[in-house]
Amino acid sequence: MKLKTKRTIAAVGLLGLVGVGLAVHTGTGTPSAWGIGDIAAICPLGAVEAAIASRTIVPPLLIGLVIVAVLVALAGRAFCAWGCPVPLLRRVFGIKERKADKPTPAERDGANDSRNWVLGATVLTTAAFGFPVFCLICPVGLSVATFIALWRLLQFSEATLSLVVFPVILVAEIVLLRKWCHRFCPLGALLGLMARLNRTFRPTVAAESCLHCSGASCSRCADVCPEGIDLHHPEASVSLAECTKCGECRDACPAHAISFPLFARTEK
């Protein structure tokens, strides 16, 4: 099975969990009502916005946020490649990643990272207006909201303007803002900050098999990485904290020298 097919199945499966939440009514606190008891499965950015907007931190919300933080520490930004509906919709619309869309190391350097500015604006607007403003245009939230609107249409014959408005905004963002993930997404910025604690499932190169390490001119892994990571030149590359575990580098390596071990071997 192709890697892109696996990622598609994973993203569709995550949306399927929304349907499970709607069908069995488990958990509280999210539009999909999916979770365990009072602990809701919640977007970490949404949790931060909810806490700022309400100016309170309730235990179930805090527990959900801690669980997400632990998952990110273990799996890094894997959600961006395996769970986010944006890459899924791009594949549906046939929008391919362009080399010009990739971030450069300079664009991931703290204040130069435009995503961090959007993240800051998201927090400030939430505090100023008293509600999560970004959620109105968040592609992840719009995808879930569209799914819920379709569900209610099929289950209750409830037709609302959201069936038109949400998909139109979503398509506009996917088609027109091609650099959304790399330039604008505050959720990606937040996950990137949290993923700095990640040390597991990082791409590792077996020097004895790698063509580049043997002196050959090969940069296939760097060429295909959507995050602009160069495993052979880490000092001049985007940080490994930005790795989404998409596996493109592993599949592209002609020598099959790249793997994603639980823990990378320590060089002596």
Cβ-based neighbour number of residue 177 at 10 Å = 14
Q: What is the pLDDT of residue 209?
A: 94
Assigned token pair, 31: 């539009």
Lowest mean pLDDT among 76-85, 92-101, 143-152, 240-249: 92-101
Question: ∠5-7-8 over CA atoms, to 5°?
Answer: 60
Listing DSSP states for the chain in one string gives: --HHHHHHHHHHHHHHHHHHHHHHT-SSSSTT--EETTEE---HHHHHHHHHHHT---HHHHHHHHHHHHHHHHHTTHHHHHT-HHHHHHHHTT-PPPGGGSPPGGGGSGGG-HHHHHHHHHHHHHHHHSS-GGGGT-HHHHHHHHHHHHHHHHHH----THHHHHHHHHHHHHHH-TTIIIII-HHHHHHHHHGGG--BS--EE-TTT-TTTTT----HHHHH-TT---TT-GGGS--GGG-----HHHHH-TT--EE--SBPPPP-
Q: Tokens 């009072």, residue?
A: 38
Mean pLDDT of the chain: 86
258-259 and 204-205 as β-strands: parallel, antiparallel, unpaired?
antiparallel
Q: What is the pLDDT of residue 35?
A: 54
Model pLDDT for residues 164-192, shown as the tens digit of each residue: 999 999 988 888 888 889 999 999 999 99
Q: In this model, does residue 267 exceed pLDDT 60?
A: no
Is residue 101 very low, low, confident or very high in pLDDT (cuts 50, 70, 90)? Answer: confident
Assessment of whether the complete model's pTM goes beyond 0.85 = yes
The alpha-carbon radius of gyration of the chain (Å, integer) is 20
In 3D, which of 55, 13, 53, 19 has the Cα closest to residue 136? 53
Question: ∠254-268-76 over CA atoms, to 5°?
Answer: 60
